[in-house]
Structure 1
Amino acid sequence: MIPLTKFLEVSSASHILYVFEDKRYYIENLISYIKAGIERDHHLLIIENPTIYNEAERMISELFSNEQQKRIHYVDNRSFYGYHRDFHVHSIVEHFDKILEPFFKDNNIIRTWAHVEWKKQDGISSKIEEFENLADCSVDEMGIMSVCAYTASDITASLQNTLMRSHEYLMTDKEFVRSTFYGIPLHNKPFMS
């Protein structure tokens, strides 16, 4: 068990779904996550949109030394998820693995935080579901802690329920619980038949 933040502990290989509504709480939670990682000498890969990251970066520069800031690695989420092109699941997973590879070669512990965003496109829910299922396997294999953040207004209740099947934990702006759907396969038949 390792700390997620100052107050929460999870297993070292944890896949966390964060559905957020309030940007202020979101940034506070991101900073808490970074702080917990820095305190443990972890590296942090933050995949975030530039607007939110710029706000967080002001706090990062106030809270952390230049040496600590070298362990925080930023990637623009819109280019990462192909915001200007198709949300191509396998390319995203391969790119993620390539970004993390140098950290593992140097025996560094890394935790990730990814704000998942996409352009409007057909079949996006099934692409996100496939992506998160693959990501869950990768997180487990790599033994890393990974937060996948989604803006609540961007996902349907149905998609959130599906995402809870591939994330061991569910986090909101103010709550953190174990996902009751984690690991339960999605059936294509009605429940009552």
Structure 2
Amino acid sequence: MREWLIHLRKLKGLTQQQVASKCFIERSYYSQIERGTRNPSINVAKNIASTLGFNPLKFFNSEFDFAAEEKRTSSINNTFPSDIISYFNSNEHAHMIYLYNNIQNYYINFLTYLLAVIQKNRHCIIVENEEDYCNINRELEKIYSTTEIKKYLHHFKKGVRCKKNLEEIVSCVKELQSQYKYKESIYIWLHNEKICQYDIIGKLEKSDIELDKILFVQTYKASLVSAEEHIKLMKKYPLLMTDGEIVNSPFFISKKSLVLPSFYIQEDL
């Protein structure tokens, strides 16, 4: 019996039939999922998770910390956008900074991002240390085949040959955009230890890459970012992501919105 699923449904004030209808399945199928006698398919799991507001990995990981997930879900702000899962599922282009406080929430949001990537058949470039990437990969293997994971995820080890890595990443983005004739977005997840360790966006801008076809997330542990650095990052990125929400950056200044001063020469009269 999936008591946690029943609990979430009742918190939303929904009947089994209402959840089933929202997820385009029969009520009997949903009832079996709640009773634990049947596991949902990937698509059904994502639909139920989106409807009730939790991470779909909960269906496939019995050791998942539901208390932490429930706390994270209930803390999500209803401004813009209210649902991280929904945001990554419905958007193809964004540049954001992610400042995380809790490593477990970091894993949850990283997995949410990658689930959206593979579900939409997109390619993702990941800059992450070997240990954390292996942990994430093990969770993904509970849902997707190794072949699917290797096809869509391109891992670059963090902290190894930084300059060389940047060149290889840019080359990978160019190759993927060319391969798909610039019709599909490329996803990039970059985990930095310090500010400006990897300036991928700057490098891509100089390499004739179509930035409007990239969903880019640059992450830092919040406690390692000073207040001054925090403001600089929010000026650079239009979106700010935390452990529980994605909001517009209050300090972002678009290059298109910059008004340059006008200079003129006054003729002598």
Q: Quickly name the TM-score band, shorter chain normalised.
A: 0.7 to 0.9
Q: 2:130 aligns with which of 50, 64, 73?
A: 50
1:116 alignment partner in structure 2: 192
Letter in 1 for 2:114: I
| Bigger mean CA deviation after superposition, 99-108 or 49-58 | 99-108
1:167 alignment partner in structure 2: 237
1:188 alignment partner in structure 2: none
- After superposition, residues 1-193 of structure 1 pair within 5 angstroms as 6-8=85-87, 12-69=92-149, 70-79=151-160, 82=162, 93-107=166-180, 109-118=185-194, 128=196, 131=199, 134=202, 137=205, 141=211, 143-183=213-253
Structure with more of its chain in strand, by fraction:
1
TM-aligned CA distance change 1:130 to 1:28, over 3 Å: closer
TM-aligned CA distance change 1:54 to 1:64, over 3 Å: same
Could you tell me how far 1:136 is from its partner in structure 2? 8.1
TM-score relative to the length of structure 2? 0.54
In 2, the alpha carbon distance for the partners of 1:105 and 1:184 equals 27
Task: Name the SS for the 2:175 alignment partner.
Answer: helix
What RMSD in Å do the two structures reach over aligned CA positions? 2.8
Q: Is the 8 A contact 1:164 1:179 kept in 2?
A: yes
TM-aligned CA distance change 1:140 to 1:22, over 3 Å: farther
Stretches (4+) displaced over 6 A: none
Letter in 2 for 1:8: Y
In 1, the alpha carbon distance for the partners of 2:146 and 2:84 equals 21
Structure with more of its chain in helix, by fraction:
2
Could you tell me how far 1:12 is from its partner in structure 2? 3.0
Aligned identity (percent) is: 22
TM-aligned CA distance change 1:115 to 1:38, over 3 Å: same
Long gaps (5+) in structure 1: 83-87, 119-124, 186-193
TM-aligned CA distance change 1:109 to 1:175, over 3 Å: closer
TM-score relative to the length of structure 1? 0.74
Pair member with larger Rg:
2
